[in-house]
A = this chain, B = another copy of it.
Amino acid sequence: MLQNRQILLASRPFGEPKPENFRLATTEISDRPERGLLLKTLWLSVDPYMRGIMDEGDSYTPAVDIGGVMDGGTVSLVLSSRHADHKAGDLLVGYTGWQEYAHTDGEGLRKIDPKTAPISTALGLLGMPGMTAYTGLLNIGLPKSGETLVVAAASGAVGSAVGQIAKLKGCHVVGIAGGPEKTRYVVDELGFDTGLDHRAADFPARLKAACPKGIDIYFENVGGHVWEAVYPLLNDFARVPVCGQIANYSDTGLPPGPDRALALIGTILTKRWRMQGFIVSDFADQTDEFLRDVGGWLRQGKLKYKEDVVVGLENAPAAFMGQLKGRNFGKLLIKVADAPA
């Protein structure tokens, strides 16, 4: 038997998650499963959507049960296999959760080749966040050369890919992030046209100045006061792929009035905006194009990425809580175990 450390959902958060909502447990797991695969987790992805799976009830992702292992994307090493498609030593990407080992029947796992790119990218630019950026931008954002795109959380896994792909499509790209280090990074390293700190007191005025021709595409992943600054600048026929609302995930109630919901619909009408929600799995049939295009751009040096690596499964809850406050810089990953040499 193996000792399997896991992070469980101890209780549901009210508002912001707190340490007591998580529990580190150690369970035993057979090292010789009779069926399927035994996997050793190497990398765990920590992503804002995980706030939603901690709540009870409907979301676009299933809720985790109290006492259950937190869900999450992983890159794993096959330790033993009774599965026809995989053998010991293979590297797989899938959703095996916040734990050091997993038994699985092999469903939903995809083999990755460590020769084509670092394996951790299967959780970032070449994984769920990168594909979220690619599919949302191209299917809903519909970027055209010369248009202005704004994206927040711009140094993060999704935002950095959105902005870079939009640049490849010829857009004027404004990235919004928290603090001077991140805003410099998106310009100096990622090649965005402008980086803006949403914490600046005059952020709305700076955003307006950075978008002299208005905003044609706003890739919405934060909500909150960034949305409030963006929407007055959205042009007629603007597209708003709605991908996330991290600033509002821990809201415990609605803000005070007046109620602007019907007025928003009125503005969607008069300005002929397209607002459309999506999650990456809605575009699962575009996986091949995504891997071909984004993998190709990465190998050609046209796309860059940055990882924020935290070592040790036990540190995942704190890393996640920090992410919801914007403390990570780049794709947040938990290094659960060393990859084989």
Contacts and interface: CB of A to CB of B under 8 A. Distances in A.
Given A271-B277, A275-B268, A277-B271, A262 B60 contact: no
A23 B107 CA distance: 72
B261 A245 contact: no
Contact of A256 (B60, B251, B259): B259
Contact of A276 (B245, B262, B263, B275): B275
A19 B17 CA distance: 58
Question: Which of A244, A256, A262, A274 lies at the interface centre, i.e. has the most chain B CB atoms within 10 A of its CB?
Answer: A262
Contacts of A253: 258
- In this complex, the member of A254, A259, A267, A279 whose beta carbon has the largest number of chain B beta carbons within 10 angstroms is A259
Contact of A277 (B220, B227, B270): B270
Nearest to A242: B269
Interface residues of A, number: 43
A194 interface: no
Nearest to A271: B277
Contacts of A168: none
A270 to B, nearest CB: 5
A266 interface: yes
A59 interface: yes
Nearest to A259: B255
Contacts of A115: none
A50 to B, nearest CB: 14
Most buried by B among A52, A58, A263, A271: A263
Contacts of A278: 269, 272
A257 interface: yes
Contacts of A59: 270
A163 to B, nearest CB: 20
Contacts of A272: 60, 276-279, 282
A86 B260 CA distance: 49
A273 interface: yes
A243 B60 CA distance: 28
A254 B260 contact: yes
A232 to B, nearest CB: 12
Contacts of A244: 269
A270 B60 CA distance: 5
Interface string A229-264: 000000001000011110010010111111111111
A67 interface: no
B58 A262 contact: no
B258 A224 contact: no
A223 interface: yes
B58 A265 contact: no
Interface string A194-231: 00000000000000000000000000100110010000
B255 A254 contact: no
B255 A269 contact: no
A216 to B, nearest CB: 15
